[in-house]
Structure 1
Amino acid sequence: MRFLKFAVLIFSFLIFFSSCNQADNKSKIGILFGTYEAARWDLEKNYLEEKINELGGELITKITEGDELEQFAQATELIESGVDVLIIIAVNGNTAGSIVREAHSKGIKVIAYDKLIQNSEIDFFITFSGERAGELMAEYSINKIPEGNYVLMYGDRTDDNAIKIHNGIKTILQPLIDAKNINIIYEGYTDQWATENATFYTNKIIEFSDTEIDVIIATFNSVTYGAKAAVKKQGLENNILVIGHDPDLEVCQDILNGKEVLAVHKTVKNIAYKTAEIAIQLATNKTIQTTDEIYNGRMDVPSIILDPVVVNKNNIETIIFEEGFINKKDVLNYKPAI
């Protein structure tokens, strides 16, 4: 009997230490959010956490709102905690290379998420095709107004996405510009993608332009709403087509009501799940198969580039509501600001 009790005790200890060892062997994945303002980020965090947990890992999250110094401090904290992989949504893609170097000095691999980190040896990059998003915006514009005066308002110049969107727009518009069908009155970048900056720039463009504006391609909701506010203030909302939306409550309501509006969507579940899989593969030293590479000023970074999709009345149920990006009841009950 004493031997049996001793055997049970030993067996219990073995189970305990085995479970501790399994917990210690969990891949620890850190993520740095450079902003958390847009609705997509909370959903993406949840999808990342869900998939990483499913694959036997653990996600540790740090968030800042556009503060580079705070993001670096948060990165240092995650690095010192011993994460295996660091996912970075950089505040500034031009300066976040210092975080990459610090992580690599501790043997930690780095994924740049949806925003390229320039001049650094990042291990992987995953994003949506900014070029394709820009092409979709330009195609929609010329289908509506194939000739006229255009204003092109891009995002923040430190964000590689803004540059890629610029390139996609110009790919479609340039032949029409060369043929003198489209005249570019103004094009430029919008600091921090900020709505107030977009409003200010649009007011000045309208004020100082000696020709009527037909189209403003504003490339993202924060810029689009800023441009729209200025256009409305000038009493020109029926004269100028302003496009460049991601799907939000107002845009989705317009789509359900049959209004003609362009919404270009990045399917967040897709990018989050793929990023989780890549993070676990890097953490466990597995080979990642990809044929895409993007040059960041220092190296050709192994990459996965996903295509955005246009949301319309035929696909909004599956692409937006079933994904959980926006709740349909919230859309139906939404009352736009007057």
Structure 2
Amino acid sequence: MRINRLVAATAGLGLALTLAACGGQGAGGVDDAPGGNSADADPSDQTIGVAMPTQTSERWIADGEAVKSQLEEKGYTVDLQFANDDIPTQSQQIDQMITQGVDLLIIASIDGTALSSQLESAAAKDIPVIAYDRLINGSDHVEFYVTFDNYNVGVQQATSLLVGLGFLEEDGTEAADAPTSPQNIEVFAGSPDDNNAGFFFDGAMETLAPYLEDGRIVVPSGQTDFDTVATLRWSQEAAQTRMEDLLTSTYSGGEELDGVLSPFDGISRGVITALQGAGHGPSLEEGLPIVSGQDAEIASVSLIDQGVQFATIFKDTRKLASQAVTAATSFLEGDEPEANDTETYDNGVKIVPSYLLESDIVYKENISELLIDSGYYTQEQVDTGQ
């Protein structure tokens, strides 16, 4: 953390004494300056601003609630705001948090390049910033990053697709009865303004590369570059429209579509809606293509249980929230949080110290083990999709 030093002249001795406190004072050297914090401060005297991108995704609602509840359990006051996927709204919310004197910010950004001025303001008031699951780019004032191993999430997405297509077993080994004819797939990627989307895409496409190179997998539309297949704001509606367009332009002559690489459950549901609307399905057993996913949203977990969506990636938001709270507590107590990655996440200005968590592939067969037995969902939620 930054160290503020207050030099006090001692008239009688003519000596200058330097008093140092880790993050203990505001930029003006005043103990009660906005954003000031101290290793000796009681948590009940400290406020943490938590900025989440949207409430349109149940994943972000769960993240926000998990971070808030765990911080409050430690005695902190929490200002939790959701921005409805609107960049100006999130910028204004963070500006307001800084003006009101929060002691630390935890930010899951909508656009990882749009918060430079807010981070400058936070730095001026010695307010540490933790990037939550989405890296904030183009700023030196990101102290820490908590996330999942996003490249590996992409690997898992592609792996689940390969399992569904019959090339791999669920344990990742080669299937003995793998398809002998080429399998047709289409590719979707996440939002181009989300730093994680590139990691997901790279992990997935590099996993699929050997199959694409030797012709075991084919993309009939030819759309495989990130800019073409990206889905702005991870929009379910945009994904549905693009899938409908692909079906019309590429598959109207009776070509078979075997699978779709989807990086997010909302996108997956949009794709599935388009497929079912065009007469595919309605289930995997009845000819619906294999569709991957991510975030283990309850609506998609229920579809997996029903044999409609094939798989998703479970990123336990409780663990991510816990890591964010651990990092926040370290900063506010005058320490540096533990990082397990100091090489991967370059935001264009600095390598941001990071803590990476692991994720799991959810198939129909392991829903109970991963999601119900762990208390993440109840059986009733899986049954109803709510």
Q: 1:141-180 counterparts in 2 under 5 A?
A: 141-145=161-165, 146=167, 147-180=182-215
Q: Letter of the aligned partner of 1:159 in structure 2?
A: D
Q: What is the alpha-carbon distance in structure 2 between the residues aligned to residue 208 and residue 141 of structure 1?
A: 23
Q: What is the alpha-carbon distance in structure 2 between the residues aligned to residue 179 and residue 24 of structure 1?
A: 58
Give deviations 1:99-139, integer Å, cap 9, x for gaps. Answer: 21221121111011011111112101111122212111211
| Gapped regions of structure 1 (runs ≥ 5) | 1-20
- Kindly indicate whether the alpha-carbon contact (under 8 Å) linking 2:128 and 2:143 is maintained by their aligned counterparts in 1: yes
Q: 1:1-338 counterparts in 2 under 5 A?
A: 26-121=45-140, 122-145=142-165, 146=167, 147-184=182-219, 185=221, 186-187=223-224, 188-209=229-250, 211-237=255-281, 238=287, 240-254=289-303, 256=305, 261-293=310-342, 294-312=345-363, 315-317=366-368, 319-321=370-372, 324-334=375-385
| Gapped regions of structure 2 (runs ≥ 5) | 1-39, 168-181, 282-286
Q: Which moved more, 1:317-326 or 1:184-193?
A: 317-326
- Kindly indicate whether the alpha-carbon contact (under 8 Å) linking 2:54 and 2:61 is maintained by their aligned counterparts in 1: no
- Kindly indicate whether the alpha-carbon contact (under 8 Å) linking 2:276 and 2:288 is maintained by their aligned counterparts in 1: no
Compared CA separation, residues 81 and 313, structure 1 to 2 (3 A): same
Q: What is the alpha-carbon distance in structure 2 between the residues aligned to residue 24 and residue 317 of structure 1?
A: 38
Compared CA separation, residues 228 and 81, structure 1 to 2 (3 A): same
Q: Letter of the aligned partner of 1:201 in structure 2?
A: R
- Kindly indicate whether the alpha-carbon contact (under 8 Å) linking 2:53 and 2:82 is maintained by their aligned counterparts in 1: yes
Aligned residue pairs total 315
Compared CA separation, residues 282 and 322, structure 1 to 2 (3 A): farther
Deviation at 1:172, TM superposition (A): 0.8
Q: Which moved more, 1:249-258 or 1:265-274?
A: 249-258
Tell me the SS of whatever aligns to 1:295.
Answer: coil
Q: Matched residues, percent identical?
A: 24
Compared CA separation, residues 215 and 279, structure 1 to 2 (3 A): same
Q: What is the alpha-carbon distance in structure 1 between the residues aligned to residue 302 and residue 92 of structure 2?
A: 40
Q: What is the alpha-carbon distance in structure 1 between the residues aligned to residue 351 and residue 198 of structure 2?
A: 17
- Kindly indicate whether the alpha-carbon contact (under 8 Å) linking 2:110 and 2:193 is maintained by their aligned counterparts in 1: no
Compared CA separation, residues 260 and 94, structure 1 to 2 (3 A): closer
Q: What is the alpha-carbon distance in structure 1 between the residues aligned to residue 128 and residue 310 of structure 2?
A: 41
Compared CA separation, residues 251 and 63, structure 1 to 2 (3 A): closer
Compared CA separation, residues 253 and 299, structure 1 to 2 (3 A): same
Deviation at 1:178, TM superposition (A): 1.6
Deviation at 1:318, TM superposition (A): 5.5
**Bigger fraction of residues in helix:** 1
Compared CA separation, residues 23 and 144, structure 1 to 2 (3 A): closer
Deviation at 1:239, TM superposition (A): 5.1
Q: What is the alpha-carbon distance in structure 1 between the residues aligned to residue 303 and residue 244 of structure 2?
A: 25
Q: Letter of the aligned partner of 1:31 in structure 2?
A: V
